[in-house]
Amino acid sequence: MNLSMISKGLLIALPMLALGACSSTTDADAEAAAKLQAEQAAAAAKKAAEDAVQTDTIQAIELTAEEKLVEQYTSAILETTINFEFDKSVISPKYATILDAHAKYLVNNTDKSITVEGHADELGTPEYNIALGERRGLAVSTYLENMGVSASQITVVSYGEEKPVNLGHNESARAENRRAELVY
C-alpha cells in the first residue's frame, strides 16, 4: 500500500511537475522572445530615425545648393547692361554669366521676347554710332542665339549716341554709354 500510495503520488506529481516545467519554460521563452522583439523594434526605430535625419540633411544641403543657383541666376538676370570697349562690338567674357542667364530664361520661356538696344558714346558721327550700336546689338543677339534662344524672340535696335545713360563728357561717362541694354 505504501508503494502504491507513493506510485499514485508520483503518478499525479510527475505530470504536474512536467506541466509546471513546461509552463515556466514557455513563460521564459515568451519573455525572451518579447524582449528580443522589443530590442529589434527599438533598433529598427532608431535606424529609421537616423535615416530620416540623414535624408533631411541631404535634402537641406540639396535645397541650399539649389537656392544658391537660383540666387545666382536671379542676380545675373537682373543685370541688363553689357558694356563694350571703345569702338568695339566684341562681348567681354565677364558678361558670359549674365548672358547665359538671359538665354536660359528665354529658352525656358518661349512666349517671352527681348529687345537688344545697342548704344555708343558721343565720339564719332551719328551715322557711325548708329552702325556701331547695331553691331553691338547683333553681337548680343548672336550670343543668345548660340545659347539656344530663337531668333524670333530677339529684336535688335540701335540708338547710337541718342540715349546716353551718363550725360558727362569724360572717359568715365563715355565708357558707361558704350553698351547694349536688354529690355523685356
Task: Output the DSSP codes for 103-135.
Answer: HHHHHH-TT--EEEEEE--SSS-HHHHHHHHHH
β-bridge mates for residue 114, sequence order: 154
pTM of the full structure: 0.63
Sequence spans of domains, the chain: 33-78, 80-183
Kindly indicate the confidence band of residue 72, based on its pLDDT and cuts at 50, 70 and 90: confident
Kindly indicate the confidence band of residue 65, based on its pLDDT and cuts at 50, 70 and 90: confident
Evaluate if residue 97 carries a pLDDT over 60: yes
Q: How far apart are CA 162 and CA 127, in angstroms?
A: 11
Q: What is the pLDDT of residue 130?
A: 99
pLDDT in tens, 132-162: 999 999 999 999 999 999 999 999 999 999 9
The residues near 179 (Cβ < 8 Å, ≥ 6 apart) are 81, 82, 83, 84, 119, 136, 165
One-letter amino acid identity for 67? E
Instruction: Count CA atoms closer than 13 A to 177's CA, side-chain side.
Output: 24
**Which CATH superfamily includes the segment(s) 80-183?**
OmpA-like domain (3.30.1330.60)
Evaluate if residue 26 carries a pLDDT over 90: no
pLDDT in tens, 28-52: 676 776 677 767 766 666 676 677 6
Q: In the numeric block, which cell numbers belong to residue 149?
A: 534662344
Convert 25-50 to b/e letters by CB count within 10 Å (16 or more is b): eeeeeeeeeeeeeeeeeeeeeeeeee
